[in-house]
Amino acid sequence: MRNLVKASLLTLLLSGAIFSCSKTELDNVNLSATSAQNAKSTPTTVLDAPSIDCVPTKATGSSITLVVRAGNSGAPAGFSVQWMLKSEYDANGWPVSSEVNTETSSFCKASFSGVPGASGYNLPSQGYTEVTIGDVLYDQVGASSPCENVPLLCGREYVFRAFAHNVPQGKAKSEFSATQMCSTLACSGETSCTLTQGYWKTHGPEGCLNGNNTNMWPVTSLMLGNTSYQDTQLCSILNTPAKGNGLLTLAHQLIAAKLNVANGAKASAVAASIVAADEMIGDLKVGDSGYLAPGVTSALVSALDNYNSGATGPGHCPEK
C-alpha cells in the first residue's frame, strides 16, 4: 500500500513538472508570436524623400505652383508640403513643431492624399504632380490645410519642403526633401488691384469674418448665372467646399472676381470670362443640387483665378 502511495505521488510530481515545462514553452511561443506581430506592424523601411521644383510660369501674386516628384520608392499614400517666408526661415530655420499659428508665423502645411479617380497624389516611383500653394487649396480635391483661406503674399520669397506619407502597415514616412525657394509675382502698383477668394471669404458679412477683420464687401448681392444671391447666401457658398463639384469651384472664383470689379479693379482682363461663367451657370442653383463636372469648368476657373490672384489684370493688392 505504501509503495502504491509513493508511486501516485511520483506520478503527480512528474505531471506537474511536465505541465510547468509545457506552460513555459507555450508562454515562449505566445511571446514569440506577439513579437513577430509587432515586428510585422512596425515599418522596417523608410520611403525615399521626394524632391520639389518651382513652376515660375504659373506663379501669381498670391500662389506658387510646385512640381513634387517622388523618389524611387514612390509616394503611394500621398505627401505633405510645408512652407514659410524665406525671411523667417533665414532668421530661425524650420520650426521644431509642425503646429500652425498664422498670427505669429508664416509657417504652414498642406496634406495631399490620393483620392482614386479624383487626384493624382498617389505617386509611383519617380512619379510627379503639380500642386498650387495658396488659398486655392480650399478647392483642390484630396488637399487639406489649416491655411486653406490664406493667400501667399505678393512679391515675396517662400521656402518649401515635402515628405512622402507613411504607408499603413508598410514603409515609414520619408525624410524631408531639400528646401526649395520660390517667389510670388510682384504686388500691383495700382490702387485698383485684386484680391483672392480667401480675402473676400474672411472680410465679408457675418459668417465670412475672421478675427478682427471688418466687412469689406462693396455690394450686398450678386448675380450668379440667372439667379440673384444676397451677401449671406454668397458667404454660405464661399464656405461650402467644392469636393469635386465644378459649379462650386467656378462660383467661388466668380464671386471673388465680381467683388473685385465692384471694388474698383479694372475689369477688361476678366470681363469675357465673367460673362462666360454666368452663361455656363445659367439656371443652375449654386449650393443646392446644382452640379458641373470639374473638367467643364476648369478653363474658366483658371481664367478667373488668374485675375483674382494677380497673374492677369491689374495685379494683386499688397499685403493688407
Give the pLDDT of residue 44. 62
Model confidence band, residue 161 (pLDDT cutoffs 50, 70, 90): very high
Residues whose CB is less than 8 angstroms from the CB of residue 95 and which lie 6 or more positions away in sequence, other chains included: 84, 105, 107
Kindly report the average pLDDT of the chain as a whole number.
Answer: 87
Write out the three cell numbers for 286: 449654386
* Structure-block grid coordinates of residue 14: 512528474
Q: What is the pLDDT of residue 152?
A: 95
CA distance linking residue 17 with residue 11, whole number of Å = 10
Query: For the residues 92-114, what does the mean pLDDT come to?
Result: 89
- Integer Cα distance of 94 and 87 in angstroms: 11
Domains of the chain, by residue range, sit at 51-183, 197-308
For residue 184, what is its C-alpha cell? Answer: 510670388
Q: Could you give the percent of the chain with pLDDT greater than 90? A: 72
CB 305 within 8 A of CB 252: no
* pLDDT tens profile 167-224: 988 999 999 999 999 999 999 988 889 999 999 999 999 999 988 899 999 999 999 9
Cβ(315)–Cβ(190) below 8 Å? yes
118 pLDDT above the threshold of 80: no
Residue with cell 501516485: 8
Q: Name the more confident of 43 and 44.
A: 44
Cα-to-chain-centroid distance, residue 171: 22
Q: Which helix (H) or strand (E) holds 38?
A: helix 2-41
Q: Which segments of the chain does DSSP mark as H helices, in order?
A: 2-41, 86-92, 197-202, 231-238, 246-262, 271-281, 294-308
- Whether residue 257 contacts residue 224, with contact meaning beta carbons closer than 8 Å, is answered with no
CATH number of 51-183: 2.60.40.10
- What is the model's pLDDT at position 5? 37
Model pLDDT, residue 101 = 82
Describe the chain by its helix, strand, coil percentages, rounded to 5: 35, 20, 45
pLDDT at residue 3, as a whole number: 46
Residues 6 or more apart from 56 whose CB is under 8 A from it?
182, 183
Burial class (CB in 10 A: 0-12, 13-18, 19+), 144: middle
